[in-house]
Amino acid sequence: MSVDKNNTKNIIIDSNSNIPLFGLDFLSVLDRGTNVLEIKTNTKCNLKCKYCFVSSGDYETNFVIELDYLLKWIKKAIEVKNCNDIEIHLAPYGEILLYPQLFQLIKLIRKIPEVSIISLQSNGLLLNEENIIKLEESGLDRLNLSLNSMDPDKCAEYCGVKKYNLSHLLKMFDLVLASKMELLVAPVWFRGINDEGIIDVIKYIKEKSEKGFLWPKLRLGIQNYLTYSTGRKIRKTKMREFGFFYNELRRLENEYKLKLKLGPKDFNIHKTIPISSPVKINSIAKVEIIRQGRWKNEYIAKYDDNWAVKVISQQLLPFSSIIKVKFIKSSLKGNLLTAVPWLK
């Protein structure tokens, strides 16, 4: 364990940690019953976005998964999936470019025969010419990069920073487009807040498409703003029903003659064998408390050799203790386990 200048603890998860990589939302190989595996490599972030649904950048403890241990669990997941067109999507509860073994991870994933696509999700601000070349050489297929406005001051406001280098980010977009990799620009639409910004991003993508950067080389994936109990929220806006959101996208598609409404088929996503949760919601079981999670009231527990559990507790739970918990989340669509202490 190390402690950084912000007094944040940094924990390495490896084979000695006793923490399985199925079950946790913030540190895991996450399956939603499709051919896409989301890889949660690390939790540290360079931003504190006001709309972040997991409050990344504010954690009391940050985690990073050691390369060999992570690769072992990726291969374990692929064995369960029994599928020959797996997409590995590197999308941590933090910034993927802060994962210290990123390029080596991509190289090793590229060698797995069942993997057809490797993509990553990033805010893009840590990109430079050197690491774009390294990403391409490592075997990355697509970058999903955030951009919520064409106004750098607005971007800084949304991302919780004093200065946002938009001109640099746009240069990085051009370098990605000049490479073999695909680029997906992914703004979040805060209805009533960045309406003009969304239109400006659409116009930017439209201009690029007119210069020959066409689907799927360049895509625009506008996201609906959603709020969660664990996340930060932007004031003076609220979630919109997906029916309303998709109607708005159709309207803008017709106006700008640009594909905006994306779905699973656009990324060749299909159902596969799920990595099934071993417990049912509201069931009671014993777990071993391994260590504290990102916050004081969050613990990482072990259910069995394959499954970790996020335990939420306002009371102190001693490490290595065996306690009874009640599972409040157990989902086939996302192989996640969340529980609370069972005191009865």
The CA-atom distances, in angstroms, between 314 and each of 149, 231, 317 are: 39, 19, 9
* First and final C-alpha spacing in the chain: 35
Residues 275-296: pLDDT tens digits?
A: 988 888 899 999 999 999 999 9
Amino acid at 68: D
The residues facing 3 across adjacent strands are 9
Percentage of residues of the chain with pLDDT beyond 90: 87
Pairwise CA distance, residues 46 & 69, whole Å: 25
User: What confidence category does residue 329 fall into, taking pLDDT thresholds of 50, 70 and 90?
Assistant: confident
Average pLDDT over residues 75-103: 97
Residues 205-224: pLDDT tens digits?
A: 999 999 999 999 999 999 99
Residues 143-194: pLDDT tens digits?
A: 999 999 999 999 999 999 999 999 999 999 999 999 999 999 999 999 999 9
Q: What is the pLDDT of residue 331?
A: 60
- If you average pLDDT over every residue of the chain, what do you get? 94
**Residue keyed to tokens 């699973």:** 264
Structural domains of the chain in order of their starting residue, each with its CATH number: 2-267 (3.20.20.70), 284-341 (2.40.50)
Residues 255-267: pLDDT tens digits?
A: 999 999 999 999 9
Handedness of CA 240, 188, 336, 267 (dihedral sign): positive
